[in-house]
Structure formats: C-alpha cells, structure tokens
Amino acid sequence: MVGMVAEFADGAGALVVWQRLTTEVVRRGEAFDVVEDVVLRPDGEREVKAHVVVRPSVAVLALDERDRVLLTRQWAYPHRCTQWRLPGGPVAPADAGPEEAARRELLGRTGVEADGWERVGVVHGADSVTDHAEHLYLATGLRERAEGGGAVWRPAFEHALELVDRGAIPHAGSAHALLAVALRRTRQRGLEVV
C-alpha cells in the first residue's frame, strides 16, 4: 500500500510525515515476509526501509490462587537457547483474535484454562526492523484441564519480578506483562509511582 507511513510530533510539536512511495515483498515465507518500502522522509530525501512482516503473537501472565506465575521453558531459536517465559505463541489464522490465541496457548503449553481474562497491553519488541505485535493478557481463576506441552514452573509473583530484574526472563513480552501488572498493584495500594 502506498501512502503515509507514520506521523508523529517532533520536539517542536510539528507534524512529521513519512510517505511510502512503493512497497515490495522481497521474500515470502511461511512465518514472515521481508518487505522493502521506498519512502520519502520528512527532509525530502528518499530512503529504502526493509522490515519483517510477521503474524502477531500472545503472552499470558497466568496467576494461580497462591499468586504464583506459570512460566514455561521455551526454545528461542534466534537466540539458540531455552528461556523461562510466559506461555504464549503466534496468533494463528484460524483464531478469532488474540484472546482466542491466548486461551489456546495457555491450555496447550500448561494444560490450564482460566475463568478471568484481562488485556494487559501490547508490545512492539523490535519496531525498527519488524511490525511484530505481542498481545499481553492476565489470566486468573486457573483450572487444571489437561497435560501441558512442556516444562512449567510456578514461582511466586515477586520472585518472577526479581527474575526480570536480574535478566533471567529476557523475553520482552513476558517482562513487560509482569512489570505492568506489578505497576497496577502498586497503584491499587495507593503508592506513588515515580
């Protein structure tokens, strides 16, 4: 699609517009496409902007009745390691939306269903190179329904926050969801957030 790419206020409050002149898919893949756009920058110069277009994903902060977080051990292929992170995965084409994907991923990875669902937010992890959006949910009222698809660890919520602080949960969506819920709890207790 040719047209305006982005608009935002610069330091002086003026509208800044990037105009997309052309767009081309240079590599089509099963999980993502690589796209090159020729854009007209606000300074009038042309530039080629390459980026990865990928399906959105979800991460679920599932809290049990003892305020423990369900973490799953997942292989992070680009980083060549496993990581403890919140259950989650891609929004499949068959899903009605991110919440349906969140429910499916929670059950598939942990064997747990939830009665309570709340949207926490969305994270754009590497927005200089991809349009990827990860939708974050809080799940409560957990019920064991089936055997999960992998290793599950249930640390206390406060311990999970310590893991984020130490860099032991490097997944951006997982860290963001944990910190966002911690911030909500702080505000609910009437404490000032600086």
**Cα 155 to Cα 85: distance, rounded to the nearest angstrom:** 12
153 within 8 A of 84, measured Cβ to Cβ: yes
pTM for this structure? Answer: 0.88
Is the torsion defined by CA of 1, 34, 103, 87 positive or negative? negative
Instruction: Give the phi and the psi of residue 124 in degrees, each rounded to 5.
Output: -105, 95
Q: What domains sit in the chain, N to C, each tagged with a CATH number? A: 3-54 (no CATH), 57-188 (3.90.79.10)
Q: Report the candidate in 176, 183, 182 with the shortest Cα–Cα distance to residue 85.
A: 176
Write the pLDDT tens digit of every residue in 75-130: 988 889 999 999 999 999 999 999 999 999 999 999 999 999 999 999 998 888 99
Write the pLDDT tens digit of every residue in 151-167: 999 999 999 999 999 99
| CA-atom Rg of the chain in angstroms | 19
